[in-house]
Amino acid sequence: MAPAMSYKVDLSHLERDGGGSLTQQLVDRFAGAIEAGELAPGEKLPPTRALAAAASINHLTAARVYRRLAEEGYVTASVGRGTFVRSLAPAAAEERGDDWQAYVLPDRPSTYQEEMLSDAFRLPGEEGMISLATGFPSQRFHPAQEMADLSAQVFADEGGAALSYLPAPGLPALREGLADLGRRRGFATDAAEIIVTSGAQQAIDLTARALLGPRDVVAVESPTFTGSLLALRATGARVIGIPVDEDGLDVEALEQALARHEVRLCALQTTCQNPTGVDLSPERRLRLAELAVERNLFVMEDGAYSDLRFEGERPCPLRQAAPGHVIYVSSLSKVVGGGLRIGWIAARGPVHERLAMLKQSADFHTPTLVQHMAARYLDGDAYDRQLAKGLPYYRERRDALMAALERHLAGEYDAAVPRGGHHVWVTLRRPAEERTLYSEAVRNGVSFTPGGAVCAERRKRTSLRLSFSLVEPDELEEGVRRLARALREVRRRDRTATAAPLS
Ligand SMILES: Cc1ncc(COP(=O)(O)O)c(C=O)c1O
């Protein structure tokens, strides 16, 4: 008999002849011990073999006991870890706090990318920290008064309708407004193509879920935006990184991937790419559109930063060349404000229907009030005025960051001047251990987005995404100075470690 168990659950005097099934008797005893708090939430039960030996039953009966306890909600089984008590005895609940959740939640540790994304939202608020990790638009430019006036107007004109439900694809007036922007920019021609989403992130997530499942393959530009990587990975699909150079996604590398894998979706930003700030060249655009049509390949074109361009002509979206194959996603976040959560998808055909259904099951629709406000905001020149106000501000910060890099890190890095957006992609000429550099930088009072958090695969080179949109020019200077200090410290430690004699 296993003593470890006998003190918790009485396994003696089981009725072996005619006294009800052994399984049920054991289930009752375990359930009784759990309800009485003798077996605590989270406590590990003995392996089935130990139970079998202790209760003198066969192994299959022991397994059946645990299975039934799991079905009745008393225990939870975790492959490779064992069986744990699940239900919380009422008397013990307060003392034990929320520890039980760790045993009930499915096993899913957070990923490096998720941790970096949540750091990006958290660190800007920390005292003394200069955050080069976030590409949010500056609050200074949010059109707060205009939005306050618009919301008052919406309530005055719409009354209770401003708080009513809507069809999943969105408010007709907003879909019209976005189609109008789409005609001017080239990403859509008709309001019927538009589905209003809660930010571009939801548009990406819905697209990923509409197209991908666990055995599918998706090709994604790498580096890219962390939120895209997270949404694509969450589908369980295999994510293949395609390199990005000064002409955007390497379409030849994509062709090689298409020859090796049955790729269902290619995800990229064609303009002012986050994090590199580059555009997809016209030749590559053409070839990618041809490939999509030739190979029946879906393309997700993310235009989140496409309007935030500091110089050069705005290229036509890829969707114009292959509107049935390209699903265009974007939002008002980078120009007007991320907290508005107004994004959209432009797509047509059966995938549009599927996306609308997924939107409905995700959250029914994007909030009615903000859809009304956005429709009115787009119906006039407010958006263009907003953009005109923001561009010089961001350009000045981009230039300040590039200058600071030259002052403090000359000879150490390569970085293309971004044509637009909020970020500079910096690659160190000599690699450094990314996590060590990140921790050292945070210790020195500056944060950034480590390259590994935005890449689909492990890279030998060390890259950093530095975002300039939220930071004043003098703070950008100080941030880069701190970063250079952190890098020197990491290099110094590397040298010391290399020089240390082997013991
Ligand atoms: C390239 C890119 N796409 C999509 C998004 C998500 O935008 P939204 O805030 O509209 O969800 C972001 C946000 O940073 C982004 O950088």
Residue 136 or residue 352, greater confidence: 352
Nearest atom, ligand 1, residue 204 CA: 4
pLDDT for 125 equals: 64
137 Cα–ligand 1 center, Å? 11
What six digits make up the tokens of 314? 């705005």
76 Cα–ligand 1 center, Å? 38
pLDDT at 503 over 60: no
pLDDT for 305 equals: 97
Cα–Cα nearest to 178, from 150, 200, 158: 200
DSSP H or E run through 83? strand 82-85
pLDDT tens, position by position, 351-388: 999 999 999 999 999 999 999 999 999 999 999 999 99
Asked if 124 contacts 138 with a C-beta cutoff of 8 angstroms, the reply is no
pLDDT at 202 over 90: yes
C-alpha distances in Å from residue 204, one per residue of 199, 244, 329, 356, 499? 9, 20, 7, 13, 48
Question: Residue 20 — φ and ψ, nearest 5°?
Answer: 85, 165
* Cα–Cα distance measured from residue 66 to residue 476, given in angstroms and rounded to the nearest whole number: 59
Report the pLDDT averaged over residues 172-188.
Answer: 98
pLDDT for 11 equals: 86
Pocket of ligand 1, beta carbon within 6 A = 135, 199-201, 225, 227, 269, 274, 302, 304-305, 331, 333, 338, 343
**Res. 454 pLDDT band, cuts 50 70 90:** very high
Report the pLDDT averaged over residues 152-179.
Answer: 98
Give the β-pairing of 463-467 and 423-428.
antiparallel
Pocket test for ligand 1, best of 228, 334, 366, 423 (most atoms within 8 A of CB): 334
Asked if 288 contacts 255 with a C-beta cutoff of 8 angstroms, the reply is no
pLDDT at 5 over 80: no
Report the pLDDT averaged over residues 104-127.
Answer: 72
pLDDT at 138 over 90: no
Nearest atom, ligand 1, residue 224 CA: 1
List own/partner pairs for 96-105 with CB under 8 A and 24 or more apart. Answer: 96/40, 96/41, 96/42, 99/41, 99/42, 100/41, 100/42, 102/42, 103/41, 103/42, 103/76, 103/78, 104/76
Asked if 302 contacts 267 with a C-beta cutoff of 8 angstroms, the reply is yes
pLDDT for 500 equals: 62
pLDDT tens, position by position, 58-92: 999 999 999 888 888 788 887 778 888 875 544 45
User: In the chain, what are the domains?
Assistant: 3-104 (1.10.10.10), 112-136+385-495 (3.90.1150.10), 143-379 (3.40.640.10)
pLDDT at 262 over 90: yes
What six digits make up the tokens of 455? 């890449």
- Of 106-110, 209-213, 483-487, the range with the lowest mean pLDDT is 106-110
pLDDT for 91 equals: 46
Nearest atom, ligand 1, residue 201 CA: 11
Residue 488's SS3 state is: helix
Q: Both ends of the chain: CA-CA distance in Å? A: 49
- Inter-axis angle of helices 251-260 and 282-295, to 10 degrees? 20
Q: Which residues pair with 299 in a beta bridge?
A: 266, 326
Pocket test for ligand 1, best of 205, 301, 331 (most atoms within 8 A of CB): 331
pLDDT at 123 over 70: no
pLDDT for 87 equals: 55
340 Cα–ligand 1 center, Å? 12
pLDDT for 473 equals: 94
* Cα–Cα distance measured from residue 125 to residue 123, given in angstroms and rounded to the nearest whole number: 5
Residue 36's SS3 state is: coil
pLDDT for 435 equals: 87
Nearest protein CA to atom 12 of ligand 1, as residue? 304
201 Cα–ligand 1 center, Å? 6
pLDDT for 86 equals: 77
pLDDT tens, position by position, 289-340: 999 999 999 999 999 999 999 999 999 999 999 999 999 999 999 999 999 9
Nearest protein CA to atom 7 of ligand 1, as residue? 200
pLDDT for 331 equals: 98
pLDDT for 372 equals: 98
Residue 492 or residue 5, greater confidence: 492
pLDDT at 2 over 50: no
pLDDT for 100 equals: 66
277 Cα–ligand 1 center, Å? 14
Give the β-pairing of 194-197 and 343-346.
antiparallel
pLDDT tens, position by position, 33-62: 888 888 888 888 999 999 999 888 999 999
pLDDT at 285 over 80: yes
Pocket test for ligand 1, best of 117, 204, 225 (most atoms within 8 A of CB): 225
- Mean pLDDT taken over the chain: 91
